[in-house]
Amino acid sequence: MMKKVRLCKFPDGIPQEVIRFLSDAEIYDSSCSTEAAVYFIDKSGGYYLKSSRKGALKNEAAMTGYFHSKGIGPEVLSYTSDDSDWLLTAALPGEDCTGEAYLSNPKRLCDTIADELRKLHETDYSGCPIPDRTSSYLSLAEYNYQTGNYDKSHFPDSFGYHSADEAYHVLHEGKNALQSKVLLHGDCCLPNIILDNWKLSGFIDVGNGGVGDRHIDLFWGIWSLWYNLKTDRYESRFLDAYGRDAVDTALLKVIAAAEVFG
């Protein structure tokens, strides 16, 4: 579950239009990344305030609003980009999939997230603000390969490569098979899926989303089950529950090759 550490004072630089949400409220640091600060505002149904470098949350604000329009994401209440970016959203009811109630029932959890992911990928993506996520995804992998950014330490052995050149060869040979055909989350890990008593409340942290290749989400779903459950025994079950008719396991290796380049 997302941690919450109570703060004695409000963070510096909060936009004036957000201040009204903070009156008579307790605020907690809920950050889990060095790339962005996340604060939970304990008021009414709750709010989340995210801050990062200028321009960093632009896509997330757009995609969060789009997911909300589909009934599968939180409402965006404010987005400002001055010296820094600030994104304010309403909290979704429920808790993320790393909650004990979910991790303690791994088979049901596996089947649930696979089912919800398949539904996401079958959602009409007309008007999506990021219409070709696959191109930018591959461009970033190419750039990181050329600049020496290679790290396979966070992936299970079955997705690892012995060298950057080996991974790049697989990526280069397989990248043309990747398509932009589904509404993509882009970082489909357990902490980014909110359930309310096993019913989908919505998806969060969709800044890497857009119209893209389903295997990106499938890769991260498999990875997150391995990482959070400390076992790889649910990989096959996850793909079965999602539907093997839409899965090309060879493309999962292509995605893994791209992901080791950050």
Q: What is the DSSP string of 88-115?
A: EEEPPSSEETTSHHHHTSHHHHHHHHHH
Quote the distance between the C-alpha of residue 227 and its chain's center.
15
CA pair distance 184, 192, nearest whole angstrom: 13
Helix (H, G, I), strand (E, B) or coil at 150: coil
Helix (H, G, I), strand (E, B) or coil at 122: coil
CA pair distance 137, 50, nearest whole angstrom: 23
Active site residue 187: yes
To the nearest 5 percent, what fractions of the chain are helix, strand and coil? 40, 20, 40
Buried b (16+ CB within 10 A) or exposed e, 247-261: bbeebbbbbbbbbbb
Q: What φ, ψ does residue 27 adopt, rounded to 5°?
A: -125, 140
Active-site hit among 96, 187, 205, 213 = 187
> Which residues are annotated as catalytic?
187
